[in-house]
Chains A and B, each alone.
Chain A
Amino acid sequence: MTVSANYDAIAKCNKCGFCHVACPIFRATGHESGVARGRLAMLRGLIEGRVEWNHELEDPLFTCLGCGACTTNCFGAVPTADLVLNARSEYFERVGKKPAHRLLFEHLLPYPKRLHLAARAAALGKNSGASKVAKAMGLLRIFGRDLPKAEGIVEKLPTTSFRGTTRPETYAGQGKDLNIGYFVGCGVDVIQVDAGAATFNSLKRIGKSVTVLNNCCCGLPPWSYGDIENTKVLAEKNLKVFAEADVDVIVTDCSSCASFLKEYRKVFAGEPQKLELVEETRKKLRDVVEFLYTAEFGASGDKEAAVVDSYHDAHGSGSAAVQAVMKNSGKTVVTYHDPCHAVRGQGIKSESRELLKSIPNVEFREMAEADWCCGGAGSYALTHYDLSQKVLDRKIGNLKKTEADILVTSCPACMIQLAWGIRKHGLNTKIFHISEMTAYKEGLTA
Chain B
Amino acid sequence: MITDSFVKTMEDIVGKEYVRSSEADMELYSYDASLIGGKPGLVVFPGTTEEVSKVMREAYKAGIPNVGRGFATNLSGGTIIRFQGLVVVLSRFNQILEIHPESKYAVVQTGVTNLEIQEAVSPLGMFYAPDPASQKVSTIGGNIGENSGGPRCLKYGVTSNHILGLKMVLADGEIVDIGGPSLDPPGYDIRGLMIGSEGCLGVATEITVRIVPKTESVITMLAIYDDVSSAASTVAAIMKAGIVPLTLEMMDNMIIQAVEKGGSCGYPIDAAAVLIIEVEGITTGLKEQAEQVNRICMETGCREVRTAKTQAERELLWKGRKGAFGAICNLSPNYLVNDGCVLRSDLPVVLDRVKEISEKYGCPVANVFHAGDGNLHPLLMFDSRNAAEVDQVHKAGWDIMKICAEFGGTISGEHGIGEEKRDAMTMVFSGHDLNTQRRVKKALDPKDLLNPQKVIPLVPEGSDQLPDTKPTVLKRLGGETASGVGEAMAAIRKAAGEKKAVRIAGKGTFNGFGNALKQEVVVLDSLNMTDFIEYDKDNQFITVGSGVTLEALQAKLGGENQWLPIRPPFCDGATTIGAVVAMATVGPERLAYGAPRDLLLGLQYIDASGSMVSTGGRVVKNVAGFDMTRLLTGSLGTLGFITESTWKTATRPEICKKISASGSFANCFEAGLNIVKSHLQAALVTITPGEGGQATLSAGFEGLEMVVDSQVERCSEVMKSAALSVDGAEQYPLLEGYLGSAFAALWAVPFTLQADVVISQGADFVSRLSPIARPAELLLDAAHGRVYAGFDALTGEQWQKIDALAASCKGHCRLLKAPESFAGEHDLFGASRPEWRLSHLVKQALDPHKVFAPGALPGRI
Contact = CB atoms under 8 A, between A and B. Distances in A.
Contacts of B333: 8, 11-12, 14
A15 B33 contact: yes
B24 A75 contact: no
Interface in A1-35: 7-8, 11-18, 20-21, 30-33
B10 to A, nearest CB: 15
Contact of A30 (B92, B136, B258, B330): B92
Contacts of B385: 7, 11
A77 interface: yes
Residue from B24, B137, B325, B385 having most chain A Cβ neighbours under 10 A: B24
B32 interface: yes
Contacts of A7: 385
A90 to B, nearest CB: 15
B111 interface: yes
A77 B115 CA distance: 22
A56 interface: yes
Interface stretch (A38-46, A156-164, A217-225, A250-258): A38-46
A347 interface: no
Given A20-B71, A75-B323, A41 B136 contact: no
A12 B25 CA distance: 21
B218 interface: no
B220 interface: no
A153 to B, nearest CB: 22
A76 B89 contact: no
A76 B137 contact: no
Nearest to A13: B329
Interface string B110-127: 010101000000000000
A348 interface: no
A376 interface: no
A57 B24 contact: yes
A30 to B, nearest CB: 3
A33 B28 contact: yes
Interface string B12-51: 0000000010111101110111000000000001000000
A115 B632 CA distance: 75
B136 A45 contact: no
A57 B28 CA distance: 11
B23 A51 contact: yes
A77 B45 CA distance: 30
Given A14-B335, A17-B73, A78 B329 contact: yes
B24 A56 contact: yes
Contacts of B136: 18, 21
A30 B89 contact: yes
Interface in B69-88: 71-73
Interface string B325-363: 111111001110000000000000000000000000000
Nearest to B91: A30
A56 B26 CA distance: 11
Given A21-B113, A30-B89, A30-B111, A14 B27 contact: no
Contacts of B384: 11
A391 to B, nearest CB: 14
Contacts of A74: 326
B323 A18 contact: yes
Given A11-B333, A12-B329, A75-B330, A17 B137 contact: yes
B63 interface: no
A17 B133 CA distance: 12
Contacts of A16: 33, 73, 134, 325-326
A313 interface: no
A50 interface: yes
Interface in A138-194: none
B11 to A, nearest CB: 16
A41 B327 contact: no
Contact of B23 (A8, A21, A52): A52
B755 to A, nearest CB: 40
Contacts of B263: 75
A60 interface: yes
B262 A17 contact: no
A276 to B, nearest CB: 30
B324 to A, nearest CB: 8
B478 to A, nearest CB: 40
Given A15-B33, A18-B323, A42-B28, A76 B329 contact: yes
Nearest to B73: A17
A151 B815 CA distance: 68
A14 B71 contact: no
Contacts of B480: none
Contacts of B72: 17, 32
B379 to A, nearest CB: 10
B31 A21 contact: no
B31 A75 contact: no
Contacts of A20: 71, 73, 137
Given A30-B94, A76-B327, A76-B330, A15 B262 contact: no
Nearest to B89: A30
Nearest to B322: A18
Contacts of B25: 33, 56
A63 to B, nearest CB: 12
A60 B22 CA distance: 12
B385 to A, nearest CB: 6
Contact of A14 (B89, B92, B111, B326): B326
Contacts of A18: 134, 136-137, 323, 326
Contact of A60 (B23, B28, B111): B28
Given A15-B32, A30-B94, A41-B31, A56 B329 contact: no
B327 A17 contact: no
B392 to A, nearest CB: 17
Contacts of A31: 20, 28, 45, 89, 91
A13 B384 CA distance: 11
A75 B137 contact: no
22 contacts: A7-B385, A11-B385, A12-B333, A14-B326, A14-B335, A15-B33, A16-B73, A16-B134, A16-B325, A20-B71, A20-B73, A20-B137, A21-B136, A32-B28, A32-B29, A33-B25, A42-B27, A42-B28, A45-B27, A51-B23, A57-B24, A74-B326
Interface of A: 7-8, 11-18, 20-21, 30-33, 38, 41-42, 45, 50-52, 56-57, 59-60, 74-78
Interface of B: 20, 22-25, 27-29, 31-33, 45, 71-73, 89, 91-92, 94, 111, 113, 115, 134, 136-138, 258-259, 262-263, 323, 325-330, 333-335, 383-385
Given A30-B92, A74-B326, 20 more contacts: A11-B383, A13-B329, A14-B328, A14-B329, A16-B33, A17-B32, A17-B73, A18-B137, A31-B28, A31-B45, A31-B91, A33-B28, A38-B28, A50-B27, A56-B24, A57-B24, A60-B28, A75-B263, A75-B329, A78-B329
